[in-house]
A and B are shown apart, each in its own frame.
Chain A
C-alpha cells in the first residue's frame, strides 16, 4: 500500500491522542490532521486511523461520511465554497452556485462536492461562513469573499492559477 504517514505527522498525532481520556475521542482530530496533510481522507487513511485508535474501520468511516468537511476523494486545486445558509440563500447564493457550476461544466443540481475533470476546481455548498451581512458569501481556498456578484465570481475564477 502506498499510504504512509510521515514520521513528524505521526508524532504530532500520537501527541494529540494523549489529550483525550479515551483514545476513540481523538478520532476527529486525527482525521483533521490527515486531511490537512493529504488533502482528503482516503480509505487507507480511514483504516490507518482505526488501527491507530484500536477501532474498526467502519467506526471511523461513519465519521468521515457524517461530516461534509471531510473529503473522501482529492478535491480540486481551487476549492470554491458557496454559503447557502439563510441570509446567503436569500441573497442569491443558489444562483451563484449555479453560475460556478455552469461555467465549470458541473451539474448545478448534484448533491455534495463536485470537481472538474482536470482537477483544477471543486465547487460545493457550505453552511454559514459568518459573513451574513454581506450575502452572498463564499470562499476560494482560504480566501474569503463577500457580496459576490456573477462578475466578481468570474474575476475570482480568473484569478485562480
Chain B
C-alpha cells in the first residue's frame, strides 16, 4: 500500500553501518548496531548475528525484550577474529584470505559483540559438548515431571534435551528438593524445582512492569525464586512471566492443569478489553477457549499484554449467552401501555423471518424517527454497515463511552476496543455519547419511534426501561442478556470477537484484523453477516458476502481507510491517520 496516509509513521531509519562476519563458514552482512530490549541501538551480539544467519543458538536467559543477564551459559559458541601481526596489520593466509585467530575459550553469544571479520562457530564438537554439559547441569536437580507439567510441549528444557540431552542421567546422588506449588501471587504458581534460575521473571517484573517484586533467595542449590514473605506477586502484568519462563516453573493458575498445549488450536486475534488492542493468540479446543497469550507486535504491545485483558474471556462462553433470534410478543400484539415497563415475553423466531420483518418496518419508518446506538465494541465493518443504514434512514446515532484507569505500559483509559472505528465510520463524534440524551428526549417526546441497539445496555446510559417501553420498535443485537434485550421487540444474537472475523481501529489508529477461533452458540450469527442482509434489504444496495470484500468496500468508502485492503492488514495491522 503506497498511500502515504496508511503507512506507519516512522522516523527515517538511521543508516546503520553493516559489517561482515562468518557464521559456520557462511558470510553474512549484519548491522553493527541492533536495537536492544528498550529499542536503543547497541552493538550487535554474536547471538543476533547467528539469528540473521538463520543458525539457531539455544538459549534460556536471553530474551530480546529484557536486559541481558548472561547467566544460563546455554548460548556458548566458539569464535575467532582476524589475526593481527606485530605491525597491527591483518595476517594473511597463503591463499590471500585473512588468518583467523581462534579464541581459546568459548563466549556467550547473547552478550558478546561482533567485530568485523569475526567467525562464529555454532556447530563444532566443542560447542555441542558445552551445550550437553550445560543441559546436564541444569537437569541435575530437575524433577523430570513433564507428564504433569503444563509447560510440556512448549518447554525449552524439553526441546533442548531432545537436541543435546543424555538419554539417561549420570547423577546418582539424591536430588535437592525445593518448594512445589508455591502460591506466588493471585494468578501465579511457582514450582521451584523446575526453575532453571534464568531470572527472566525477575528482570521482567523489575525492568518492564516496574514492580521489583521477585528475587532469588537462599544459596547454591537451594536457590529459589521468591517474593518477600507476605508480599504477593500481584501487578497487572504478572502472567507475562508465565509466557517467558522457558520451563514449567511459573504457571498460570487459570490455565494450570486445564489442557495439554499440543491439543490447542491457536487463532490470531486482538484483545478487546481496552483501546490498545494488544495482539493475542486465542488457544481453543473443540469450541472451548482455554487461554489468551500475547502475540508479538512491536507497533502495539511488543510481546506483552496485561493480566486483566488476558483473563477477560470467560464471558464469551457463559451459559446464559443469547442463542436464539427472539421476537417480543408486543410486535404482533398491541402494546399494553399499562404493562410493567421492562420485560417483554419473547418467542423464538428465525433469522429470515425476523430480518425481513425488521427490514419492512425500517423501510416504512419516516425520516428522523429512527435512532441507533452502537457499541464501540463492534467491528469497523459492522459500524460501517450500520452507518449505511443510518444514512438511508436519516437516523441519529451514537456510541457509549467506557473509561477506566490507564497505566504507563499498555493499558488505555478507553475501555472500548474500537472507539476510533466508531468515529471514523461516523457512528459517533469525537465526544462519544453526546447524542444519547438527545435520543432519550426524542423517545420521550415521541419523535423517535424505533431504536436500533448493538451491544449496549442503554438502560445504563440514560435511556431507561420506561422510555424503551414507549418505542414502537426496539431492535437489539447483543451477546449476553440484559435489561435492553429484555425489552426488545427483536433480539438478534450476536458474536463475541472470538467467534467472528473483523477489524478494530485501536487508540493510535492501527487497523488490526482478527480471525475466528470458535463457533458461536446456537443461532447466534456474526453481526456483519446479518447486517449485510439487513442493509441490503433496507437500502437495496448489495454488499459483500465475505469479510474480505466487505472490508475492501468499506476501505474505499471511509476516507481514513482509503487504500487499505483486508490482505494489506497482514497479521499485525496498519496504522492510519485518525
Contact = CB atoms under 8 A, between A and B. Distances in A.
Interface in B214-248: 214-219, 226-231
Interface in B194-222: 212-219
A114 B213 CA distance: 30
Given A56-B213, A61-B217, A61-B229, 15 more contacts: A43-B228, A47-B228, A57-B228, A57-B231, A58-B213, A58-B215, A58-B226, A58-B227, A58-B231, A59-B215, A61-B215, A61-B226, A62-B217, A65-B218, A66-B217
Interface in A13-55: 43, 46-47, 55
Nearest to B230: A43
Contacts of B217: 61-62, 65-66
A61 B228 contact: yes
Contacts of A47: 228
Contacts of A61: 215, 217, 226, 228-229
B112 to A, nearest CB: 27
Contacts of A58: 212-215, 226-228, 231
A43 B227 CA distance: 12
Nearest to B218: A65
A70 B214 CA distance: 20
Interface of B: 212-219, 226-231
Contacts of B219: 65-66, 68
Contacts, number: 36
B565 to A, nearest CB: 50
Interface footprint category on A = 10 to 19
Quick one: which of A58, A59, A65, A66 has the most chain B CB within 10 A?
A58
Given A65-B218, A65-B219, A66-B219, A56 B212 contact: yes
B218 A46 contact: no
13 contacts: A43-B230, A56-B213, A57-B228, A58-B212, A58-B213, A58-B214, A58-B226, A58-B227, A58-B228, A58-B231, A61-B228, A61-B229, A66-B217
Contacts of A59: 212, 215
Contacts of B228: 43, 46-47, 56-58, 61
A46 B217 CA distance: 13
Nearest to A50: B228
Q: A-B pairs with the 9 shortest C-beta distances?
A: A57-B228, A65-B217, A58-B215, A56-B212, A58-B228, A62-B215, A65-B218, A61-B228, A66-B219
Contacts of B229: 43, 61
A62 B216 contact: yes
A133 to B, nearest CB: 28
A116 B228 CA distance: 27
A120 to B, nearest CB: 27
A144 to B, nearest CB: 26
